[in-house]
Amino acid sequence: MEYNELGKAILGLDSAIRFVTIFDTKDEKILYSEHNPGTTNLLSKEESQESLQLAINAWKTRSKLASKIGKGKYVLAEYEKIKRITMPFDESHLLYITTDVGSNSLDLIDKIKNL
């Protein structure tokens, strides 16, 4: 699946999804990044970039322990205003997704895995 298609498919899974980014961990570049139409940005472009970079760095740090504890399946962070899901799509692509706090995150993660 092409990454533009994948990003749009993820955005279309649930109206609670606010933002989707697909990041290539080998080439260190963003392949797709879009907000759901009608979503109000809570962070500036620079703050969004910083948040993404922090999540990527944290994922890489955790991955160093994979030989002992297994590969990470997802990370869910819940804040007062959003939830953030970071998860691998495959061996070299990381998904960074934000949702409304009322979203059913585990159901959403299952839907994404089935794409």
User: In the CATH scheme, what is the code of domain 3-113?
Assistant: 3.30.450.30
Do 10 and 85 contact (CB within 8 A), yes or no?
no
Is the pLDDT at 102 greater than 90? The verdict is yes
Predicted confidence (pLDDT) per residue in 41-88, tens digit:
899 989 999 999 999 999 988 889 999 999 999 999 999 999 999 999
pLDDT at 45: 87
**Distance in angstroms (rounded) separating the CA atoms of residues 30 and 50:** 13
Do 58 and 75 contact (CB within 8 A), yes or no?
yes
Is the pLDDT at 1 greater than 90? The verdict is no
Average pLDDT, integer, range 12-20: 96
For 80, the token pair is 């007062």
The pTM (predicted TM-score) of the whole model is: 0.91
Do 20 and 10 contact (CB within 8 A), yes or no?
yes
Q: How many CA atoms lie within 13 A of 48 on its CB side?
A: 17
